[in-house]
Amino acid sequence: MPEAPTMIAGRYRLGEAIGSGGMGRVWLAHDERLDRDVAIKEIVLPPGSEEDAAVARRRTLREARAAARLNHPGVVGVYDVFEADGKPWIVMEHVPSRSLKEIVQQDGPLDDRQAAVIGLDILEALQAAHKAGVQHRDVKPANVLIADDGRVVLTDFGIATIEGDGLITSSGQQLHASLDYMAPERAQEGEATAAADLWSLGATLYDAVEGRAPFHRSSAVGTLTAIAADPPDPMERAGALAPVIDGLLKKNPGERLSAAEATRLLQAAADGKVARATAAPVAPAKPDHKPATVRTTPRRPLLIGAAVVLVLVVALVAFIALRPDGTTGPGTGDNVAADPTGTAAGAPSAVPSDDPAPPSAEPTLTGAANPSPSGGAAPGGGSEGDGTEGGGGRPQLPQGWRDYTDPTGFKVYVPNGWTRSQEGTEVYFTGSNGRVLLIDQTNEPKPDPVADWNSQRDYRVGRGEFPGYTEVKIVAVDYFQKAADWEWLYNESYGRVHVNNRGVITAPDQAYGIYWQTNEADWAASQSDLQLIYESFVPRP
């Protein structure tokens, strides 16, 4: 809160801070010109490159444009967007409220009729958005506000896609949203559709009555796998809301409830009746002409079973840092922090866990490294294999691979066609053959990688993160300054998987985790690829 009231843009007097997240702060302010209270979102630009700052500005403009298209009581109004003090600001309608997330956390889960009434209002707002050519893409309890007067309001259109807007594409290479509430097809292909918003509505309603997300697991990999392959966790409190939740959480978008059918079932639940869902494909309201962000090619089927595609998504642009509740959020809620998503299975991370951790064994990235690839220059992040020598003593870049450069500065060779996604500091690359590469980083490494892996092993295995855990080894390896490998097998819902997690210290204030996972039967065949990844990896300068 500022020491004294501050005037912004010559008309908005800032009062108290009413929310904060990874993207900045939300202030209660007074519009001196129109004599009314407003909420102003201050976007704190990330440190680093001008490109990162430009991304933040584009996101701000996109949020304002998306919400400004909508004139509906169920959507927070946007009044203005401007730049002051070198930062973008969004002026919004002030809605005295609590989020649905806060209500569930503070008061407990809702009963089925209460949740159904809220669901009807959210669905009406979504239909208005879809009719205007806008897909929200981040429907979740934190973005549903319950006003003091009972009004239900959908907020935060910061990652929405807009018909005809060139600021964002439907590419699956960059996705932004909350892991627990993302539809499988969005995770796999990045498609922004009305059907994906309806899935997120179903996950939000599940959370409202059960008090937790339907596919949440203790790790990001586990959650993403459950979204792709598992049914939702059994419902115990859903009552009359169960048919609509089941219908909205169908993994195949073509089998998912339409908005009209969802409305019918929600109304029945609100009236205290249990209705039966009828098979109906999603038929979202369509704009007059096709949005530029909607794909025209058929969706690939989700690959479930031994060759499951681990739809590792929720990639945030480099300046957004996801943290569990109580720390830093991604800026996707107007007045609450980000939802917890956990850390990737077995991957050390700089992000503290929600669960109490043993001393020095919290899931923090520590392994480290000893000399290996030098920190010399490397080919640009977009280059593909052409038989040329890698820079800085790196191996030749093979055909079928590309030289990836992360916005944070590290470099690594990655197979062509693998999907990049991001969860906080964790950067995922996922192949259609069940192989997963995860690279995490921290600036606070533990001094002994072997001791840290042993500690994390005791903690994570002890709390049941890896069913059927079989340890292969925890050993020091010669890589950069210090390093250790933790190799193990465990059971996933689709079969047995094999993992090696290399913790790498590259500098006193820099460490990485290089996590590699395959199906058990594919482990031996994958080792040449893993070795190439190790040899091509270069930490940030």
The answer to whether 286 is a known ligand-binding residue is no
| Alpha-carbon distances of 283 from 72, 185, 257, 258, rounded to whole Å | 21, 16, 9, 6
Average the pLDDT over 475-502 and give the result: 93
**Residue with the larger pLDDT of the pair 278 and 24:** 24
Describe the crossing of helices 194-210 and 259-270 by its angle, rounded to 10 degrees: 20
Least confident among 44-53, 158-167, 472-481: 158-167
Note the pLDDT of residue 129.
86
Report the share of the chain in percent with pLDDT over 90.
Answer: 43
Confidence of residue 354 (pLDDT cuts 50, 70, 90): very low
Confidence band for 48, pLDDT divided at 50, 70 and 90:
low
Q: What is the pLDDT of residue 60?
A: 67
Tens digit of pLDDT for each residue in 206-233?
999 999 999 998 777 788 888 888 899 9
Split at pLDDT 50, 70, 90, the class of 422 is: confident
Domain boundaries, the chain: 6-93, 97-270, 383-536
> pLDDT higher for 422 or 386?
422
**Between residues 251 and 326, the one the model is more confident about:** 251
Element (H, E) at 245: helix 242-248
> Which whole number is the average pLDDT over 337-342?
28
Average pLDDT estimate for 509-516:
95
The residues carrying an active-site annotation are: 138
Write down the pLDDT at residue 394: 92
Note the residue count of the chain.
Answer: 541
Q: Which residues contact 87 (CB under 8 A, 6 or more apart)?
A: 24, 42, 43, 44, 45
50-78 pLDDT, tens per residue? Answer: 666 676 677 666 666 666 677 788 888 88
pLDDT value of residue 141: 95
The string of DSSP letters for 386-402 reads: SSPPPSTTPPP--TTEE
Q: Which pLDDT band, with edges at 50, 70 and 90, does 178 fall under?
A: confident
Please tell me the predicted confidence (pLDDT) of residue 518.
Answer: 94
Region of 493 please: left (phi>0), alpha (psi -120 to 50) or beta.
Answer: alpha
Burial of 238: CB neighbours in 10 Å, binned 0-12, 13-18, 19+: buried
The pLDDT of residue 321 is above 60: no
Query: Taking residues 290-305, what's their average pLDDT?
Result: 25
Q: pLDDT tens for residues 17-26?
A: 887 655 678 8
Judged against a pLDDT cut of 90, whether residue 104 lies above it is answered with yes
pLDDT of residue 300: 25
pLDDT confidence tier of residue 444, bands split at 50, 70 and 90: confident
pLDDT at residue 168 above 60?
no
pLDDT for 355 equals 36
Task: Look at residue 154 and tell me whether its pLDDT is greater than 60.
Answer: yes
| Annotation: CATH topology of 383-536 | Protein Transport Mog1p; Chain A (3.40.1000)
Which is more confidently placed, 407 or 137? 407
Instruction: Please report the pLDDT score of residue 500 as a whole number.
Output: 97
Query: Could you say which architecture CATH assigns to the domain 6-93?
Result: 2-Layer Sandwich (3.30)
CA distances 525 to 251, 298, 309, Å, are 31, 31, 18
Asked whether the predicted pLDDT for residue 457 surpasses 50, the reply is: yes
- The band of 84, judged by pLDDT with boundaries at 50, 70 and 90, is confident
Choice between 292 and 72, residue whose per-residue pLDDT is larger? 72
Query: Mean pLDDT throughout 129-136?
Result: 83
Q: If one looks up domain 97-270 in CATH, what number appears?
A: 1.10.510.10
Number of C-beta neighbours around residue 65 at 10 A? 17
Does 121 have pLDDT greater than 90? yes
Please calculate the CA angle 218-315-162 and round it to the nearest 5 degrees: 125
The residue-averaged pLDDT of 243-267 equals 93
> Quick check: 333 pLDDT over 60?
no
User: Looking at the predicted structure, is the pLDDT value of residue 319 above 80?
Assistant: no
Average pLDDT rounded to a whole number, residues 163-169: 38
| Burial class of residue 148, CB neighbours in 10 A (0-12, 13-18, 19+) | exposed
User: pLDDT band at 395, cuts 50/70/90?
Assistant: very high
Average model confidence (pLDDT) for the chain? 74
For residue 143, pLDDT over 70 is answered with yes
Confidence of residue 174 (pLDDT cuts 50, 70, 90): very low
| Burial of residue 106 (number of CB atoms within 10 Å: 0-12, 13-18, 19+) | exposed
Question: Can you tell me the distance from the alpha carbon of 497 to that of 94, in angstroms, rounded to the nearest whole number?
Answer: 49
pLDDT given for residue 426 in this prediction: 86
User: For position 177, what pLDDT does the model report?
Assistant: 52
266-275, 313-322, 431-440, 488-497 — which is least confidently predicted? 313-322
**Alpha-carbon distance 150 to 128, whole Å?**
20
